[in-house]
Structure 1
Amino acid sequence: MSNASNKRSALGKGLGALLQGADAGKEMTGEPGSVSMIQISAIEANPFNPRTHFEKQALEELSQSISIHGIIQPLTVRKVGQDKYQLISGERRFRASQLAGLTEVPAYVRVANDQTMLEMALVENIQREDLNAIEVALSYQRLIDECSLTQDQLSQKVAKSRSSITNFLRLLKLPAEVQAGVRDNQISMGHARALVSAGDEAMQISIYEQVVAHGLSVRDTEALVKGELSPQVATEEKASVKNTQSHTISDTQFVFKEHLSDRLATKVDIKKAANGSGSIVLKFSSENDLNRIIELLNN
């Protein structure tokens, strides 16, 4: 395989479609359209990057990998002046390279105005980075507001269904305290989606605090929002189930049972015999409910 082919395959799917027409095999000159070795001191961070927090440990691990193997995937930059560049994507690699003590890095050089740069950075991060649900939602909103995209156009650009995009955007209607809970992994996106329908801000915060305090499942949260379950009953039921089953299934197995129950939106039981054999039982209320569960399992 040629060097040019290696460079193209290293790019991956996320930004590839946005870089159509770039000749990765051009001589490394630092000119637009080329792949170049660029001095780190000549590169400035991307002001449009939706990710604002980089975990120190993850950066250190990436830095160690770069020290050993080098940078597999080049950064993407735009030229903003003589020997001066601005990141479009690859800020984690850029920061990790600085930690590794590199003085230069390989980069794709692009020409992009601010709006195009913003769009490229946001789409790249949504597709390639491990953003939390709030960061994804904010990125979607910025693409809509600042790049004048409709939800249908956004759906095509990020290869996500319109309903998925709508679900993310709805999270931005939640109180700041609840959004912070999603960002900090206090609650899942499933919990947050349920809380969107919980009424006014005071009610959303009240149920959120109950969920965090008692470790309630998504199903229990949905029941609380609908008024079908009181916080006390939800907590007692959760404790009762765990205490009843703790002698037969491990904590890991219990967490799996809860996760499967949340995913399928139905009651799940794990029954074990003394010899370790047993069964996983899924409850359904009707033929339609059974077909719904089968469809989810087949996806």
Structure 2
Amino acid sequence: MATSLSERTTRLTMGLAQTAAAASALLEEGDRRHAGIPEDARDLLLDDIEPDPLQPRRTFEEPELRALAEDIARRGVLSAILVRPPIVPLGKYRLVCGERRWRASRMAGLVRIPTRVRELRDDEVRAAQLAENILRADLNDIEKGRSLRELYDIRKEENVRTTWEAVAEEVGLGRARIHDLFHLASLPVSIATLIESGRLSGSHGIALQRAQSQLGEESVIQLAQEAARPEGRRTGSFGLSVVALRERIQFLLKGEAAPKPEEAPVAIVARPFIQKTLHAIATGKLKPEEHAELLRALESYQVNPSETGEADQ
């Protein structure tokens, strides 16, 4: 029986729709592979996912999240997050790894996020989170040290023969780095807070920790305060560089007072000001009253010959 034109048209339309859907799926699969998203990842609603309250990472810096959100808005999420399935029916998925991407995706206005769902034991979840945190470049050394200690404890419970070398190999860090991160956790709370807030670096903390047993807690806290950036600042110069801090520690260990930096002669310090003043006078930019005030100031100030470098000449 011959099919009508309308039936043929309907079948053709359905076939084209199926072909378009298949092509779209292939393109999406290719995009995912290119972006590093595994084939078993699914797009879950962001609102169906909740953070893990036991996540060892405690702080997420707003500027860094905004920068990641801007990148996600431009390029999308390039790496799938990892979650556990809901504990109860219609419950939420629990984040294992990728909380920064989840938070930044919400900031970027996304509705869904590529996600891998895995059945994991509590100890497996904890170990995965700790290992991720230890390797994060944007995490401070205090949080990395805490994560490292906890990961070591987990591995020790699994196998009493676990060594620090085995943990170092697991997270891909050298033994010396592992040792330093582990011992940072023994610093006084006030110094740990300075490092967490960005006012001190992890390298400062390591130098202070190594000296703590010999100098005592009070002394290393005072040194930390001298070396720290001003309150509220995470960038810029430290009060003492790591090298200067180590030198200060060595003097204290020898029982010597640390030398004060030599002050430059007054003439050297004042030279840029003098040159600008002379230029202002020569170009007529100095007002008469300013000129008179300057002359009075110069007449009242007597320069020590030793400061000008002209003594004994």
Band the TM-score falls in, shorter-chain normalisation: 0.5 to 0.7
2:179 is equivalent to residue 166 of structure 1: yes
Equivalent of residue 219 in structure 1, options 243, 252, 256: 243
- Residue 141 (structure 2) aligns with: 133
Deviations 1:241-294 (A, max 9, x none): 9x98999xxxxxxxxxxxxxxxxxxxxxxxxxxxxxxxxxxxxxxxxxxxxxxx
- Residue 185 (structure 1) aligns with: 198
Secondary structure of the corresponding residue to residue 173 of structure 2: coil
- 1:121 Cα deviation (Å)? 1.2
Q: Structure 1 residues 95-104 or 211-220, which shifts more?
A: 211-220
TM-score by length of 2: 0.63
Q: Is the 8 A contact 1:75 1:108 kept in 2?
A: yes
- 1:117 Cα deviation (Å)? 0.5
State the AA in 2 paired with 1:40: L
Q: Is the 8 A contact 1:48 1:121 kept in 2?
A: no
2:111 is equivalent to residue 89 of structure 1: no
Secondary structure of the corresponding residue to residue 221 of structure 2: helix
Gaps of 5+ in 1: 13-23, 26-33, 248-299
TM-score by length of 1: 0.65
- Residue 85 (structure 2) aligns with: 79
- 1:99 Cα deviation (Å)? 2.0
Total equivalences in the alignment: 225
Q: Distance in 2 between matches of 1:164 and 1:244?
A: 44
2:124 is equivalent to residue 116 of structure 1: yes
- 1:147 Cα deviation (Å)? 3.9
- 1:220 Cα deviation (Å)? 2.3
2:90 is equivalent to residue 63 of structure 1: no
- 1:5 Cα deviation (Å)? 7.2
Q: Is the 8 A contact 1:167 1:193 kept in 2?
A: yes
2:100 is equivalent to residue 100 of structure 1: no
Identity %: 28
Q: Distance in 2 between matches of 1:46 and 1:130?
A: 20
Greater strand fraction, Structure 1 or Structure 2 = 1
2:178 is equivalent to residue 175 of structure 1: no
Larger Rg: 2
Gaps of 5+ in 2: 1-25, 157-161, 230-237, 272-313
Q: Distance in 2 between matches of 1:77 and 1:212?
A: 39
- 1:50 Cα deviation (Å)? 2.6
- 1:2 Cα deviation (Å)? 8.3
- 1:107 Cα deviation (Å)? 0.5
- 1:10 Cα deviation (Å)? 4.1
State the AA in 2 paired with 1:225: I
- 1:139 Cα deviation (Å)? 0.8
Q: Structure 1 residues 48-57 or 69-78, which shifts more?
A: 48-57
- Residue 52 (structure 1) aligns with: 58
- 1:100 Cα deviation (Å)? 2.6
Q: Is the 8 A contact 2:41 2:117 kept in 1?
A: yes
The 5-angstrom pairing of residues 198-237 of structure 1 reads 198=212, 199-212=215-228, 215-226=239-250, 227=252, 230-231=257-258, 233-234=259-260, 236-237=261-262
Indicate the RMSD between aligned Cα atoms, in angstroms.
Answer: 3.2
